[in-house]
Structure 1
Amino acid sequence: MKGQGHPKQVTLKHLYIENQKMIGLLFYPDKIIQALVKQLPNVKWSTQYEMAFIPNNDKNLNLIFDTFKGVCWVNCSHFFPNKPINISNEELSVDSFRKRKPKAGWRYCPEDFYQKLEIRKYALNTAKIYIQLFEKFINHFPEKENLMDLNEYKIRNYLQTLVQSGKSDSYVNQSINAIKFYYEVVHEMPNRFYSIERPIKTESLPRVLSQEQVFRIIDNTHNLKHRCIVSLLYSAGLRRGELIDLKLEDVISDRMLLRVNNGKGRKDRYTLLSESILADLRKYYKRYKPLKYLFEGVSGEKYSASSVGKIVVRSARKAKIIQRVTPHMLRHSFATHLLENGIDLRQIQSLLGHNTLRTTEIYTHVAVRGMNKIKNPLDLRKT
């Protein structure tokens, strides 16, 4: 209510009641709004959702706007989809999933799930994860159960089984994303499951290597192609997928830059090209003669992500690094070492392709610049 500091507004929500799409009307108690809501046709009250609702159709939607015009704000931020379609030129096909042979007792994703992934040009890895996790979700329920009839209570119970079985927070979050994709994107009911809680995000710090450790790893990578891969991961701060997507024309030697196309979030960016790695890349090009991608497999196809991981692990083992090293640790190390050398955080954000500075700020917690100058209190004890 106005006296309690609440703005006058009616928030529209997607509801699914008695096999019908409904428009939920959520508002703080207000005599004028309540009187106007009662005038709407076939309006009912949901005890479960604690809001009024009417059938979802264009006529009723227009009537809501006309009814509350000039009286209060109609908040549609939870009602209309606002996520843009990806604009990547690369088409996505999930035919390998679509053409699977039927397996007795296993429910596959419905066709409209596949179609929406393709139309919106989701990244292939994201599409695979959504398909796999959504199928695990629907196979948790009897085959006769209509997917549209599943409510928040049943979804919460399913998520609880994931937690109880020891699934990680990331796995649970991705499962929620896959479930919400079906109901909110495929069936165009944004924010239908608005009260599904996500696991509290763990604020874990990135694992980084010292510069001396990174140099040891590179020095112990004797194969020229493999050394270029390891060196680029570190010197350009690349994600594994960004590295294997690099094409020959992305090496811009006259400006000492690397162009990263369709990075995370479908964003292009430029990052650093090391002079020392450029010399190795020229030797590599003359020896291996790649045709399209900078790093290609035996048959000329894009180099595999798993092979990149194995190269890093093997070189780190040869360098006698005790902890298990991943390609992403080299990216973390790149950012941390730049910060320790006084590079501005916003420049690091741009090189890494982070959406927000807050993501990049995590490296301030692992950088040791200045910290190694602090005298430990134990060392202050007089001998």
Structure 2
Amino acid sequence: MIWTAKLIKHREENRIAVQFEKNSALINRIKEFEDARWSTKKSVWHLPDTHENRDHFKIIQYENTIPSVEGIEQMHKFNQWLSSKRYSPNTIKTYTEALKSFLVFYREKSIKDITNDDIIIYNNEYLLKKKLSASYQNQIVNAIKLYFRTVQETKIDVEKIHRPKREKILPNVLSKQEIKSILDAHSNLKHKAMLSIIYSCGLRRSELLNLKLIDIDSKRYIVNIRQAKGKKDRITPLSLKILELLREYYKVHKPVKYLFEGIELGTIYSEQSLQSVLKQALEKAKIKKPVTLHWLRHSYATHLLESGTDLRYIQELLGHNSSRTTEIYTHVSTKSLQQIKSPFDDL
């Protein structure tokens, strides 16, 4: 049988479209499938989107990218709820996409019939089979727990939804010499200033991009970081060396609103362009490590700790809610380790 098959949406219903050359024997064969229909508009035969039909027509991907009609409606409601609670756009996108993955997996099941056992099945049959990370699984759990707290009729016991065992991953840290090589790599004043202030103030990527001219307080030597992660304001010291670099940058580029602007004045600099700035610096500095912008923030915190700064101050400077988050830098600081003498040296 020569045919092609693909997933389609027909009258708000998930279906499998099957196309083949007109042949009476083939038409009689397709009619044997339960609920097989002919679409005059699409000029295809289409069948219910079931696992059996997918297997028969060798549609390999397990998940459709579209939830059920009910799932789409619930995603919209969840999105609206998150917006009304003033979650950040990034969090809304992350949680909505995470919920979508779960609802796509159970698109043939009514949401009110989903149980805690179904979540365990999803973890095993989808997340673990696809070898997705524990951090992604944790995002899914966050989204599911938050969503089912907003649903009235449900069989889910939110408090019994378990999280994956926390991975103990240490932050990636660069040496001061590596940092210097990266910051000195660019001759472009704007690019040099962007990377320098990320490291010197321990900024997140979004915090740098959203900095405005009024956030630089040159009289008090501080940077005001407004409505950062967790919708919190904080301040961080502005070194005299960075202030001089920013003044030099301002004379050349003259931004009007944001500290670092896009091609058009007054527009925010793009995340992709900032990533490219770092990539170019790494190439010029001939650093082969898979460095990300967040490595600069990790390095800032670790270097502060190694220079004797109290952990409580570092917590405030980074904007961490919990001291436990900041304490992880004690595991990557080499100050104490360098004082330990290896027994190998005595052999």
TM over 0.5: yes
In 2 relative to 1, CA 165–296 (structure 1 residues): closer, same or farther, beyond 3 Å? same
| TM superposition shift of 1:374 | 2.1
Q: Is 1:129–2:63 an aligned residue pair?
A: no
Runs of 4+ in 1 over 6 A off after TM superposition: 102-106
Could you state the TM-score of these two structures normalised by the residue count of structure 1?
0.69
Q: Match for 2:301: what amino acid?
A: A
Alignment of 1:98-247 (within 5 A): 107-110=71-74, 111-143=76-108, 145-160=109-124, 161-185=126-150, 187=152, 192-247=157-212
Q: Match for 2:329: what amino acid?
A: Y
1:350 equivalent in structure 2:
316
Report the 3-state secondary structure (helix = DSSP H, G, I; strand = E; otherwise coil) of the residue aligned with 1:139. Answer: helix
In 2 relative to 1, CA 370–173 (structure 1 residues): closer, same or farther, beyond 3 Å? closer
Q: How far apart are the structure 2 equivalents of 1:188 and 1:288?
A: 57
> Would you tell me which structure has more helix in proportion to its own residues?
2
Q: How far apart are the structure 1 equivalents of 2:277 and 2:151?
A: 40
Contact 1:257 1:272 in 2 (8 A): yes
Q: Match for 1:304: what amino acid?
A: S
Q: Match for 2:319: what amino acid?
A: G
Q: Is 1:335–2:301 an aligned residue pair?
A: yes
Q: How many residues align?
A: 279
In 2 relative to 1, CA 222–140 (structure 1 residues): closer, same or farther, beyond 3 Å? same
1:273-295: per-residue Cα shift (whole Å, max 9, x none)?
Answer: 12111112112222222222111
| TM superposition shift of 1:186 | 5.3
Q: Match for 2:320: what amino acid?
A: H
| TM superposition shift of 1:109 | 4.9
| TM superposition shift of 1:163 | 1.6
Report the 3-state secondary structure (helix = DSSP H, G, I; strand = E; otherwise coil) of the residue aligned with 1:270. Answer: strand
Q: Match for 1:156: what amino acid?
A: I
Could you state the TM-score of these two structures normalised by the residue count of structure 2?
0.76
In 2 relative to 1, CA 115–105 (structure 1 residues): closer, same or farther, beyond 3 Å? closer
Alignment of 1:1-383 (within 5 A): 107-110=71-74, 111-143=76-108, 145-160=109-124, 161-185=126-150, 187=152, 192-299=157-264, 300-381=266-347
Q: Match for 1:200: what amino acid?
A: K
Structure 2 residue runs of 5 or longer lacking an equivalent are 1-64
Report the 3-state secondary structure (helix = DSSP H, G, I; strand = E; otherwise coil) of the residue aligned with 2:159. Answer: coil
| TM superposition shift of 1:157 | 0.8
Q: How far apart are the structure 2 equivalents of 1:203 and 1:322?
A: 24
Q: How far apart are the structure 2 equivalents of 1:322 and 1:226?
A: 20
Report the 3-state secondary structure (helix = DSSP H, G, I; strand = E; otherwise coil) of the residue aligned with 2:158. Answer: coil
| TM superposition shift of 1:373 | 2.5
1:299-355: per-residue Cα shift (whole Å, max 9, x none)?
Answer: 332112222222112212211212111111000000111111111111111111111
Q: How far apart are the structure 1 equivalents of 2:66 and 2:289?
A: 41
Q: Percent identity?
A: 44
- When the two chains are superposed, the root-mean-square deviation of aligned CA atoms in Å is 2.2
Q: How far apart are the structure 2 equivalents of 1:233 and 1:187?
A: 44
| TM superposition shift of 1:225 | 0.8
Q: How far apart are the structure 1 equivalents of 2:292 and 2:200?
A: 15
Contact 1:152 1:196 in 2 (8 A): yes
Q: How far apart are the structure 2 equivalents of 1:270 and 1:188?
A: 45
Q: Match for 1:151: what amino acid?
A: T
Q: How far apart are the structure 1 equivalents of 2:333 and 2:94?
A: 33
Q: How far apart are the structure 2 equivalents of 1:257 and 1:332?
A: 20
Q: How far apart are the structure 2 equivalents of 1:291 and 1:149?
A: 55
